[in-house]
Amino acid sequence: MSGPGSVAASRARASESELSLLQLLKPAVLADPYPFYRKLREADPVHWDPFLHSWVVTRYADAVTVLTRSRAARTPSPERMRELGLQELAPYAAMMMQQILFMDPPDHTRIRSVCAAAFTPGRIAGLEQDIRQHADALIDEAAPRGRMDLLADFASRYTGLVLCQMLGLPPGNHNQLRRWAAEFGELVGNFEHDPETMDERAESLRQFKAYIAEQVIEQTAHPREGLISRLLAADVHGVRLSFDEIVANTLLMVGGGIEETANLIANGMASLLLHPEQLGRLIAEPEILPSAIEELLRFESTTQYTGRIAAEEMSMGGRLIQKGDAIIVVLAAANRDPARFADPERLDLTRADNRHVAFSWAAHYCLGAPLVRMAAKIAFSSLLRRLPGLSLETDRLTWRAMAAMRAIRALPVRFAAVSAAGTGRPPAASERA
């Protein structure tokens, strides 16, 4: 039986589902989530999502407040994983609870300070020359072909090599690491898990963790230059990390670092190719590259959202968030909030006052940000300088089905085919001979 009450109730449910973040599961929304974020920000900026049992925050000022004042310890315990029907992941839940992304003080402060000591500006600068060579070698390979998938052939291989270099992992394994990183991304970046692929994903995570653990053991005996050895040796005011903490946080950095940085390069190149006037400007004025990278991070934020738990009662946007409530902060929506960014839907490579939240905010601000900025600068400048006439080979970009991450599936491009020696790269010794 249906009466006026049930019509009103079903309308309310329909409008609730229209505003649910689950909309991101629809291919059309996934392809361009920004109209949906705008609708959410305008209709209900501090929205209770009954399907996700979570508040969803989309305004910039609210995002900053939540990221500053809330707790980060939110990843399910092994018992909770089993209750959620994700028993395959229960063995890894304890590991994720040791990743700094999901920790609060004092443990977060203790582990982050040790990791940060290994991420010094001097160490990042010391990697620059090798990273430049990785970019050049990959471009040398593609340049004579006149076309490539810029994601698979460049961005993803490049970031695999960058992360191996940073962490001190043998570079020969970067392809396997990329696959594990992608599968780890699919696991943590989705609302729903396909039971069909769950065993495979859990097996991939088991192998990924076993490999990192092996490397940590190997480097305990035979240190290589890189972050793992530094974490093993680090002693910040008498604080040292345990074996399990080093494995958990190395896996976080490899997994998150490869995927996110590859997405920044591929999404960023896609944004440039779709805005030829901005691309032309960047080619003509390469000195604007640092500001362009900030704008590309804001415009297509690879981490679309993150989560928190309210540490206290908070009144926000006319809503009362209770202590202990789950909150999803949509970084990508905050980055397009017109109350913070003038004309936010416009790509403006010289945008002033561009303090985006693509790397988050406050205590959990991305530790890899200086490495990402340096690696992105080398990648964009090498690609634009050495591959003249870059253009998209498709008019339909498709996106991976991951709600939490903005990740293009492929980026087929064309350019004027050139021999490696004729592309602006200083010739190698063997070519000069």
Contacting ligand HEM (CB under 6 A), which of 100, 188, 292, 334?
Answer: 100
Shortest Cβ distance from residue 101 to ligand HEM (Å)?
4
**Rounded least distance, CB 13 to ligand HEM, Å:** 30
Name which of 292, 297, 288 is nearest 334 in CA terms: 297
Q: HEC states along 321-352?
A: ECCCCEEEECHHHHCCCCCCCCCCCCCCCCCC
Closest approach, Cβ 330 to ligand HEM, in A, equals 12
Q: Which is nearer to ligand HEM, 406 or 425 (CB)?
A: 406
Residue 251, C-beta contacts closer than 8 angstroms, at least 6 positions apart: 95, 99, 184, 208, 209, 212
Binding of residue 241 to ligand HEM (CB under 6 A): no
For 346, residues 6+ apart whose C-beta sits below 8 A from its C-beta are none
User: Looking at 196-204, 235-243, 260-268, 347-355, which segment touches ligand HEM (CB under 6 A)?
Assistant: 260-268
Q: Contact between 168 and ligand HEM (CB under 6 A)?
A: no
- Residue of 253, 328, 334, 387 that binds ligand HEM (CB under 6 A): 253
Closest to 291 in 3D by CA, of 343, 253, 347, 212: 347
Binding track, positions 336-365, relative to ligand HEM; x by CB under 6 A: ----------------------xxx---x-
User: Which residue shows structure tokens 């202590």?
Assistant: 323
Residue closer to ligand HEM by CB (options 54, 306) is 306
Per CB under 6 A, the segment of 57-65, 191-199, 252-260, 391-399 that binds ligand HEM is 252-260
CB of 290 to ligand HEM, least distance (A): 14
Among 24, 252, 333, 408, binds ligand HEM (CB under 6 A): 252
Q: Could you write out the DSSP letters of every residue in 217-229?
A: HHHHHS--SSHHH
What does the angle CA 60 – CA 253 – CA 137 come to, to the nearest 5 degrees? Answer: 105
DSSP state of 192: -
* E strand or H helix at 412: strand 412-414
By CB under 6 A, name the one of 59, 112, 174, 209 that touches ligand HEM: 112
CB 306 within 8 A of CB 428: no
Please tell me whether residue 92 adopts helix, strand or coil conformation.
Answer: helix
Choose among 118, 80, 76, 134: nearest CA to 241: 118
CA pair distance 223, 243, nearest whole angstrom? 15
Phi, psi dihedral angles at 49 (to 5 degrees) = -95, 100
- Cβ at position 98, least distance to ligand HEM in Å: 12
* 123 or 201: CB nearest ligand HEM: 123
**Structure-block tokens of residue 147:** 């076309």
Listed residue (208, 207, 218, 206) closest to 243, CA to CA: 218
Give the residue, chosen from 40, 101, 131, 404, that forms a contact with ligand HEM under the rule CB under 6 A.
101
Size of the site for ligand HEM (CB under 6 A): 23
Q: Does 151 bind ligand HEM (CB under 6 A)?
A: no
**Residue 136 interacts with ligand HEM (CB under 6 A)?**
no
Does the footprint of ligand HEM cover residue 302 (CB under 6 A)? yes
* 219: contact with ligand HEM by CB under 6 A: no
- Closest to ligand HEM by CB, 270 or 367: 367
| Distance in Å, CB of 306 to ligand HEM, minimum | 3
Question: Does 56 interact with ligand HEM (rule: CB under 6 A)?
Answer: no
Cα separation, 129 vs 304, in Å, equals 31
Q: Determine if 299 is a binding residue for ligand HEM (CB under 6 A).
A: no
User: Among residues 310, 330, 347, 372, which is the contact residue for ligand HEM, using CB under 6 A?
Assistant: 372
Q: Is 119 exposed, middle or buried (0-12, 13-18, 19+ CB in 10 A)?
A: middle
Among residues 165 and 382, whose Cβ is nearest to ligand HEM?
165
Residues that bind ligand HEM (CB under 6 A): 100-101, 112, 166, 252-253, 256-257, 260-261, 264, 302-303, 306, 358-360, 364, 366-368, 371-372
